[in-house]
Chains A and B, each alone.
Chain A
Amino acid sequence: GENVEQHPSTLSVQEGDSAVIKCTYSDSASNYFPWYKQELGKRPQLIIDIRSNVGEKKDQRIAVTLNKTAKHFSLHITETQPEDSAVYFCAAKGSGYSTLTFGKGTMLLVSP
């Protein structure tokens, strides 16, 4: 089955800096890669996703890049703000209709 590795497990940045979280996946047939943000005590919420036929996608301060050859994808957050502090999860969906396999999460702390 699919295996997703996520790094780093924790990331501390100063407000205004950029943050990058990286994930690798094992199933070359995976075709859907969402990113979820989970604030303390809340549910995971989708913030951005990308499909395998697209190399990059942006939404205001967040962007996701995908390298199918290397089987890795990354989340980029620019101009970080304290409210960006949360746990971020990457996920990958394997071939066919299958389920999402989640990474272990990255705790992002943005200090004022």
Chain B
Amino acid sequence: DAGVIQSPRHEVTEMGQEVTLRCKPISGHDYLFWYRQTMMRGLELLIYFNNNVPIDDSGMPEDRFSAKMPNASFSTLKIQPSEPRDSAVYFCASSPGQGTDTQYFGPGTRLTVL
């Protein structure tokens, strides 16, 4: 398996633009997580899905952020409109569930909002 796949790896955009980050979890994993990592706040959980259903989105900073998982092999995190303070590395992770708690991280998307 190729592991968790994220795209793009780097994104530079201007304030006010829409940004869409993409994630393909490991096949067969039931859980998908979106994290944001910054120097100031560390690794923060934004939202997670179980079997494509959003379970907890309490970490989503505000209404500008939204996430979807239309099927078991694809998820998106959208920011609209983007702001400079959204600049961070966004990680997607997946976990098998079914008694296995290990989370496997993707390579991350480094987002810079100018």
Find chain B residues with CB under 8 A from A101 CB: 45
Query: Cβ of A43 and Cβ of B102 under 8 Å apart?
Result: no
Contact with A along B11-53 (1 / 0, CB 8 A): 0000000000000000000000100000000110100101000
Find chain A residues with CB under 8 A from B102 CB: 34, 46, 49
Contact with B along A37-70 (1 / 0, CB 8 A): 0000011111001000000000000000000000
Contact with A along B97-114 (1 / 0, CB 8 A): 100011111111000000
> What is the total of A-B residue contacts with beta carbons within 8 Å?
38
Query: Cβ of A43 and Cβ of B43 under 8 Å apart?
Result: no
Interface of B is mostly: strand
Complex Cα spacing A105 to B44, Å: 12
> Closest CB-CB distance, B7 to chain A, in whole Å?
14
Q: How large is the interface on A (under 10, 10 to 19, 20 to 34, 35 or more residues)?
A: 10 to 19
The 8 Å CB contact of B48, one of A44, A45, A99, is A99
The 8 Å CB contact of B105, one of A32, A45, A93, is A45
Find chain A residues with CB under 8 A from B106 CB: 43
Closest to B107 in A: A43
Query: Cβ of A44 and Cβ of B91 under 8 Å apart?
Result: yes
Which residues of B come within 8 Å of A, CB atoms? 33, 42-43, 45, 48, 50, 56, 91, 97, 101-108
Would you give 20 A-B contacts (Cβ < 8 Å), ordered by A?
Answer: A32-B101, A34-B102, A34-B103, A42-B107, A43-B91, A43-B106, A43-B107, A44-B43, A44-B91, A46-B102, A49-B102, A89-B43, A97-B97, A99-B33, A99-B56, A100-B101, A102-B43, A103-B42, A104-B42, A105-B42
For the complex of A and B, the 8 pairs showing the least CB-CB separation, nearest first, are: A43-B105, A102-B43, A32-B101, A104-B42, A44-B105, A43-B107, A99-B45, A93-B101
